[in-house]
Amino acid sequence: MIIAPMNQTLFSQFWPIFSEIIQAEETYAFDPNLNESQAFELWCTLPIETYALVEDSVVLGSYYIKANASGPGAHVCNCGYMVASAARGKGVAKALCQHSKQRALALNFKAMQFNAVVSSNTVAVALWQKLGFEVVGRVPKAYRHKQLGFVDTLVMYQWLEV
């Protein structure tokens, strides 16, 4: 597995993964009708950095990193991760998260916060906890899950400096 900076070519390979995830309306609060160029802007242009995990010339997942806030809150970053359905359970999200923590420190962030982890995404919640994140807040019925209706979102946080 190689984790490389995302570019337009890699994003075009990633686009079907992105599209499938947002159209499922189970984990991301992105408009399910985004087109590829809008998605590229959101995932690759607005963040500070975006990476793709590639294995055998196939994009299996991606993450972005950006500041969670500005000014006195600019030391906390935020990341988003997406993994191809066929690659789930194979360590892709773990590898992306570990890489994002390294990049966060290199970019002088002191902490990482996930603002809205959908509580029904139990696999992700368990992985983030295993990787050292704590649930520091719960927002009741903040996500309209396509299958489950209104579900809570979790705020998860980890201080990165030792």
Neighbours of 76 (CB within 10 A): 19
Give Dmax over CA atoms of the chain in angstroms: 42
pLDDT 10s digits, 59-118: 999 999 999 999 999 999 999 999 999 999 999 999 999 999 999 999 999 999 999 999
CATH of the domain at 9: 3.40.630.30
Give me the pLDDT at residue 112, please. Answer: 98
**Which band of pLDDT confidence, cut at 50, 70 and 90, is reported for residue 161?**
confident
What pLDDT was estimated at residue 11?
98
pLDDT at residue 149 greater than cutoff 80:
yes
CA angle (144 as vertex; 142, 90 as ends), nearest 5: 95
What is the arrangement of strands in the sheet containing 149-159, beginning at the earlier edge strand?
2-5, 49-55, 58-67, 76-83, 111-118, 149-159, 134-145
Write out the residue range of the structural domain in which residue 22 sits.
2-159
Confidence of residue 141 (pLDDT cuts 50, 70, 90): very high
Give yes or no for residue 37 having a pLDDT over 80. Answer: yes
**Does the CA dihedral 92-46-153-158 come out positive or negative?**
positive
Compute the distance between CA of residue 83 and CA of residue 14 in angstroms, rounded to an integer: 9
Share of the chain above pLDDT 70, in %: 99
- How many Å apart are CA 86 and CA 59, to the nearest integer? 11
E-state strands within 17-133: 49-55, 58-67, 76-83, 111-118
Give the chain's mean pLDDT. 97
Mean pLDDT, rounded, for 20-25: 97
Tally of structural domains, the chain: 1
